[in-house]
Chain A
Amino acid sequence: MSAGTLYDKVWDLHRVAELPGGSTQLFIGLHLIHEVTSPQAFAALRDLGLGVRHPERTVATVDHIVPTTSQARPFADPLAEEMLVNLERNCAAHAIPLYGLGSGRQGIVHVIAPELGLTQPGMTVACGDSHTSTHGAFGAIAFGIGTSQVRDVLATQSLALNKLRVRRIWVDGALPSGVYAKDLILHVIRVLGVKGGVGHAYEFAGPAVAALSMEERMTLCNMAIEGGARCGYVNPDATTFAYLEGRPMAPSGAAWERAVAWWSSLASDADASYDDEVRFDASTLSPTVTWGITPAQGIGVDEAVPTPEQLDPQERPIAEEAYRYMNLSPGAAIAGLPVDVCFIGSCTNGRLSDLRAAALVARGRHVAAGIRAFVVPGSEQVARAAEAEGLDQLFREAGFEWREPGCSMCLAMNPDRLEGRQISASSSNRNFKGRQGSASGRTLLMSPAMVAAAAVRGHVTDVRELLAETGRSASAASRQPSLTA
């Protein structure tokens, strides 16, 4: 059993009671809601005659169903419009703040809560969306829930939960140029599998993690769930505090100093004990691309699709299914595989630094003939910041469409979707069968820079080749400055 970890400390602080069934009632410090998983929860509250216990700890936005071309109301899709109207009514009825379209603060729920300073170290964060693990980047314990649990949090600001085991994912070294947090998490999932994290929280630590920006840490924690870990987190440090300082909902003045002291005390103790530990070396990684139908079916861009003999016997049946569905042969190179659609966006990789990394590759180049490429900023704030740097113009000149914020083609609940057997290079998080809106559509997961490389070449391409061509470096130091400089 773990002891002295951030997970243990935050769990203990939020423990309300032990329940008769043996689970723990845990207080939820921040409840994020959106239009897809909350309507039935509000309906249940009405049926039960209950109110919202802490509307001031609840925040809503709209992201999953919004169109990214025109966001004028009413939406062309009446079902989408009905869902948003439903959310607006529910938020108004219960005095829940809603960051709606055009508010300047709308966006993907896992993008806006951090950028508003809502997500803070030491909190428990719940949302009816599995990628809530993103918020663990701040040293919060954050996890996705279903709609019955959304109802429970609305009604009681708490949940019945069982404590997870804690696995430390220790990463030595530093990410090489052209290799990003996305590649690191795809590699971790490749090694540990999509079920390796079931029953665990993942603590990401070590020199390579300490060197990551907050946006990169969000990418890392975002996909913990794809490895089966319901939550992932990084201990709060100076990088965390620097990101939070001055954000609208972050503490200020004397409270800021007290907050930093408290947040610092929450980091896992040096002598903390973990249920287990797995070590990686970031310096050995290549850009990673998925070739199959689970996020664990990833390989370096310089590798070939594995043969059944190279795989664990347990993994062979799903690999066989993946060969068929993806129409890929064992032993085939992944580099050079033609793509049809290129999507840059999502709660995994729709933040400003992601767009900058993609722009660095797209600048001065053009999307290849026959490729549909589009960029969907993660939030209105990301969009405005990118536009202020001229990234929208840069992408347009390179042949990409520049869209309005939303979840878009990550899960294709809006009009953005694959058609037929199209194959996409996507900076999103799931390559499940049918995930991007076509029952036979195919998805290759990769970093935003790799998506940009695929867009300009028309096929899966090692982004390091393009960076080398133009002498552009994508090392940690150069990822941050503006491209217009």
Chain B
Amino acid sequence: MIASPSLPPLTDAVTASGFPIGPIPSVEGRAVVLAGDDIDTDRIIPARFLKCVTFEGLGEQVFADDRSELGGSHPFDRPEHSGARLLLVNRNFGCGSSREHAPQALMRWGLRAVIGESFAEIFHGNGLALGLPCLTSGHEQMLAIQAHANAHPTASFLLDVQAAELRCGDQVWALELAPGPRQMLTTGQWDATGQLLANDDALVATVARLPYLNGF
């Protein structure tokens, strides 16, 4: 039984990897463009790298096969993108397998936010659980953002999570982020465990009313 809903601080492993803790009002840094629809989680992190009991080594393995195929010309291998914090994608990013190894690999490579036209449901949820904001934009605007980033690879972008806006120099692009995730990210409540633990009485009441847990 759970005695208290309060949680100790995040683990050493998590903090040591530089993962976010607490409110995420904004993300600032260079942006890397990964063009194309339906980029699945098998491509983000091929299944052979899932043979592990920790997430630690995943940063180096992100997009391993795509990068190998392109022999150094993959966006993640170009020196100007080293240290980029924002990833700019298109439609249905993160489709396929539910592996959380995918956002883990992206974050361990250094990314702290993803902006795209749409995200697969499970990827979006996994990102939120790790404090990786995933915001959306319309098609034409997304192409414009990607074109700007490609034209200015060393420019610094500022993603304002609260305002759901992306800025670069004089440019401002309005993005979309549902009220729930927005509130969770900006108030630091994106890690749901504490909230879920707080409602144990209601959980017990739910168990008591479910026919299949009570002999029908």
Interface string of A412-447 (1 = CB under 8 A from B): 110000000000000000101111010110000000
Q: Across the interface, which residues of A come within 8 angstroms of B42, CB to CB?
A: 411, 430, 432-435
Q: Across the interface, which residues of A come within 8 angstroms of B50, CB to CB?
A: 36, 64, 413
Are A20 and B195 neighbours in the complex by a CB distance under 8 Å? Answer: yes
Contact of B196 among A64, A143, A152, A314 (CB under 8 A): A152
Are A13 and B210 neighbours in the complex by a CB distance under 8 Å? Answer: yes
Are A48 and B189 neighbours in the complex by a CB distance under 8 Å? Answer: no
Are A122 and B118 neighbours in the complex by a CB distance under 8 Å? Answer: no
Q: Across the interface, which residues of A come within 8 angstroms of B130, CB to CB?
A: 148
B30 on interface, CB distance cutoff 8 Å: no
Among B184, B209, B216: residue with most chain A CB under 10 A: B216
Q: Across the interface, which residues of B come within 8 angstroms of A77, CB to CB?
A: 51
- Nearest Cβ on chain A to B37's Cβ, whole angstroms: 6
Tally chain A residues at the interface, Cβ within 8 Å: 84
- Of the listed stretches B75-83, B106-114, B121-129, B149-157, name the one at the interface; the rest are far from the partner chain: B121-129
Interface string of B44-55 (1 = CB under 8 A from A): 001110111111
Are B46 and A439 neighbours in the complex by a CB distance under 8 Å? Answer: yes
Are B196 and A79 neighbours in the complex by a CB distance under 8 Å? Answer: no
Are A22 and B180 neighbours in the complex by a CB distance under 8 Å? Answer: yes
Are B202 and A17 neighbours in the complex by a CB distance under 8 Å? Answer: yes
Among B121, B197, B213, B215: residue with most chain A CB under 10 A: B121
Are B210 and A25 neighbours in the complex by a CB distance under 8 Å? Answer: no
The answer for the CA separation of A463 and B49 in the assembled complex, in Å, is 36
Interface string of B19-33 (1 = CB under 8 A from A): 000000000000000
- Nearest Cβ on chain B to A370's Cβ, whole angstroms: 26
Q: Across the interface, which residues of A come within 8 angstroms of B141, CB to CB?
A: none
Tally chain B residues at the interface, Cβ within 8 Å: 72
Are A412 and B47 neighbours in the complex by a CB distance under 8 Å? Answer: yes
The answer for the CA separation of A226 and B42 in the assembled complex, in Å, is 13
Contact of A198 among B51, B55, B118 (CB under 8 A): B118
- Nearest Cβ on chain A to B207's Cβ, whole angstroms: 7
Q: Across the interface, which residues of B come within 8 angstroms of A130, CB to CB?
A: 96-98, 122
The answer for the CA separation of A199 and B50 in the assembled complex, in Å, is 27
Are A151 and B193 neighbours in the complex by a CB distance under 8 Å? Answer: yes
The answer for the CA separation of A146 and B199 in the assembled complex, in Å, is 22
**Docked complex: A278-310 residues within 8 A CB-CB of B:** 294
Chain B residue, CB-CB nearest to A162: B180
Contact of B189 among A13, A20, A129, A437 (CB under 8 A): A20
- Nearest Cβ on chain A to B216's Cβ, whole angstroms: 4
- Of the listed stretches A37-45, A330-338, A361-369, name the one at the interface; the rest are far from the partner chain: A37-45
Among A14, A129, A156: residue with most chain B CB under 10 A: A156
The 25 sampled A-B contact pairs (Cβ below 8 Å) are A19-B195, A25-B203, A37-B98, A37-B100, A39-B53, A43-B54, A146-B98, A146-B100, A146-B125, A147-B126, A151-B193, A152-B193, A156-B2, A156-B203, A160-B195, A195-B38, A198-B119, A198-B121, A226-B96, A230-B122, A317-B36, A317-B37, A411-B42, A434-B46, A439-B46
